[in-house]
Structure formats: structure tokens, C-alpha cells
Amino acid sequence: MASKQKVQFMCTECGDVFPRWEGKCGSCGQWNTLVEEKFSSDKKSAGGGSKAIFRGGALGGQAAAPIPLNKVNVLEQSRRLTAIGEFDRIVGGGIVAGSVTLIGGEPGIGKSTLLLQVAVALASPESRSLYVSGEESLEQMRLRAGRMGAVSENLLCLGETQVEAIGNHIEALRPSCVIVDSIQTAWTEESSSAPGSVSQIRDSAAHLITVCKHLHVPLSLVGHVTKSGAVAGPRVLEHMVDTVLYFEGDRHHNFRILRAVKNRFGSTNEIGIFEMAAGGLAEVTNPSELFLQERPEGASGSVVVPALEGTRPLLVEIQALTAPNGGFGAARRSTNGLDQRRVALLIAVLEKRMGLRLFDQDVYVNIAGGVKVEEPAADLAALAAIVSSFQSAAIDARTVVLGEVGLAGEIRSVSHLEKRLAEAARLGFTRAVCSPLQKTRPPAGMKIIGVKNVADALKALEIF
């Protein structure tokens, strides 16, 4: 007797299931996130595609029993280095056995290129790497690897999209790492939906994750992204994995930024800087010098701030440009790399506390190099760049500016000041304008100027 197909609707944000479609999710409140799913009424397995991997063999068929937490055997986390320093630092000092990493990014930005380099680095005669491609043919992979110089007899390639078949190969080979490119092309026979649908992505990922966790094999998944930049498919996919990495940057430029937004085995919000070269992605070991090498001399609206990305201090240039609006509509506030609402707040502080007439000025703020800075430590630098452009007064090229700006115009302290100033001093900066409440010993050759409010900061910078 043929199984009857039923329909349900799943929210791609929170994962809740509803019997009928609604414009707004009743759980998370998001609009237009419910996606249709078809399933069989006979329900082969209650757990979707993850049941098929518990049919005996190396994974065993015994049901797990609850045990006291103090009786759990803690295994030491063994990490393997890839010799790609930027990647190893982002994942927490090497890849942990049995960990699952999800990498997302725009098409052509370098996801497959980086993972191919990682697979070659982890491959050895004793334990070879497995690269599963659901998008490229094996001939295309061979040509791409040849251009990169990443051809290795210890790298096994597999053109397969069915996760049951992939799981059997993983169990038989016990590779040093598994890369699935991409998870949106994978499908499981336990789900009747089309590949790339919400249920297929969820069930396929669950199947592969369970296999690799039991065998202690590190797994990397390539994820497509939507127009908004999020990984396509259910949001629960990011909760299932251990590490989530996002590629940022323009694929038409050479530099790429790899950002960790989740990491169960290391620090979050770490970034790695790569340069796309003929031989693949090359790591940039000194990104601060890279971002400042084309900084204009003596130009107004240019300020350097020592930002902190994860554990790494990073010197970036904030540029601002103000221009008369001409009375044509509301003044524009455009930002690139900074929160637009935060910049609007800083403009309001300048108008209220300093009496600057900016309501009829178009204000453009940009961070050179395509870096995004989200921490409030860049407030004072962005504010100083706006005033510098408005006053047509350049700031000393050897001065760094950092501090959070409050609504009353006060300058608040920032975290890890010594680390930030040490990086600035290493690149030849001699002055730092920041909050006076932070007691720290300045690096050799650097002078710290403490300022309590915006007025003191602008006077110290000689732009007001």
C-alpha cells in the first residue's frame, strides 16, 4: 500500500512546525519564514535520516543509557594543525577530532578553495582526506587542484550526494577529515523532499554529523548563502554544528576575511585575513600593515583606530566625508563597515554637545579594506573622522584614537587597552587619545593623552 503524503510547514528561523501556512511564525515572530515540507504518513523513522546509521557495524546498535555526569570519561581534545596559520587560529588552535565546521559565503569567494587546501594539509599516507563534491565533477576538481598545486595521492575525491552512501565510505575509510561541498546538494532516502529543501538539509546534516561524531572524524560542510547573507536552509543547521565560519569580502577583490561567529572549541569573533592568489588562498600574517599601506597622507577625515577582533588587535582606518546637502530632501547618512545607527547617534552627540551644524550635511563613513567593526571602541575615531572632514582639518598621521562615546559626550574606557596600544606602537604610532580612567603603562615611544569628553578629544586632536 502506497504511503500517503502529508504536508507541514517549518520555520527556517526557529525550526518549529505548523500544520498550515501563516505569514508570521507564531514562535519567533519572523515573517515569511514558513516553508512547506512533505512527509509520509507511515513514518519510517522518528528521527528522520539519522536512524539508518544505527544498524550495527562500527557504530553499534545499542541504545544509550543515562549515566551520572561525574562518571563520564573526558577525552583530551586532540587537535591537528593544517599549517594554515590563519585557519588554525580561527578554529581555536587546530581542528578537533569529531568536530563539525560550517563555512558559508558568497559564490566564488573561496570556500571550496580553502577547504581543498585544508584537506591536502591534513592528508597523510596513514590517514587520507575525503573530499565529497556534489557540485563539481571529479575532472573539474582535478583541474582546480592542478592550478592550485594541491594535487595529492592522499586526497580522495568522491562525486556523491546521497548521505547514506557517503556515510558508508566514511565508515570504511576512516579518513583524517571529511569535506562535503555542499550540504545543499546532499539528500537522504529517509526524506521525500527535494535536495536543498529545509527537511533534506536538516536530515542530511544530522546523518553526516552523527557518523563523524561516532568515528571522531572532523567534518566540514560548505553552505550556500541567501540574499541576506545567512546560510541557506534551516537556522537549526547552525545550532547542530560546532563551528560556524563566514567568508566576507568582494569576490572581485583579492582580500578575504574569514570570521568565526560560533566556536565550541575556541574563541568566537576571531577573524583571519587571506589573499586570493594563483595558488589558492594565502594567509596575511600582518593585516594591520596591509590595511594602512594605502592610507593617504595629510588628508582630512582619516583616523586610525586599534580595533579588537576576537583576541587579535587590528589597526584599521576610518574615513569620513561630509558634503552640503544643498537642501534637496533629508541629509544622507551612509556607512560601510560601521553600524549606521551608531554613526547617527554620534552625529547627534556632535550637534547637541558641540553645536556643530550637521543636519544639512551628507555624511559618509567607511572603513578601508572591507573590514567590519562592531565594537563601541571605534566610536571616538568615527566621531573624530567626521569632525576632521567637516572642519577640513587633518589629524596627525601618527595618532590613534579609541574610546566609547556616551550620550552625554563622555569618553568611556575600552577593553584590552595594552594589547591595542602595543600593536599601534609596533607600527610606528606615537600618540593615543583615549579615556583617562584606564591606568596602563604606555609602550615605549608612545604618549597617552587622556580625554574625559568629546570636547577635550577634539581639542587634543587639534580639529576643533
Domain boundaries, the chain: 5-42, 80-285, 290-460
Q: Collect all residues with Cβ–Cβ distance below 8 Å to 181 and sequence separation of at least 6.
A: 111, 112, 115, 131, 132, 133, 134, 135, 136, 222
**For residue 237, what pLDDT is reported?**
92
Residue 289 has pLDDT above 70, yes or no: yes
Is there a contact between 319 and 325 (Cβ–Cβ < 8 Å)?
Answer: no
Helix H or strand E encompassing 289: helix 287-292
pLDDT of residue 121: 93
Positive or negative: CA dihedral 148, 153, 156, 158 = positive
Q: What pLDDT score does 219 carry?
A: 97
The proportion of the chain whose per-residue pLDDT surpasses 70, expressed as a percent, equals: 91
Q: Confirm whether 80-285 and 290-460 share one CATH topology.
A: no
Terminal CA-CA length for the chain:
83
pLDDT attached to residue 54: 40
- Model pLDDT, residue 251: 64
Interval 83-102 mean pLDDT: 92
Query: What are the residue ranges of helices labelled H in 195-257?
Result: 198-215, 236-240
Which listed CATH number (1.10.8.870, 3.60.15.10, 3.40.50.300, 3.40.50.2000) goes with 80-285?
3.40.50.300
pLDDT tens-digit map of 408-459: 999 999 999 999 999 999 999 999 999 988 778 889 999 999 999 999 999 9
Q: Is the pLDDT of residue 58 over 50?
A: no
Question: What average pLDDT does the segment 216-241 reach?
Answer: 89
Fold of 290-460: Ribosomal Protein S5; domain 2 (3.30.230)
Distance of CA 304 to the CA centre of its chain: 23
Q: Is the pLDDT of residue 407 over 90?
A: yes
Of the listed ranges 78-82, 113-117, 207-211, 319-323, the one predicted with least confidence: 78-82
What mean pLDDT is predicted for residues 284-299? 88
Report yes or no: 320 and 353 within 8 Å, Cβ to Cβ. Answer: no
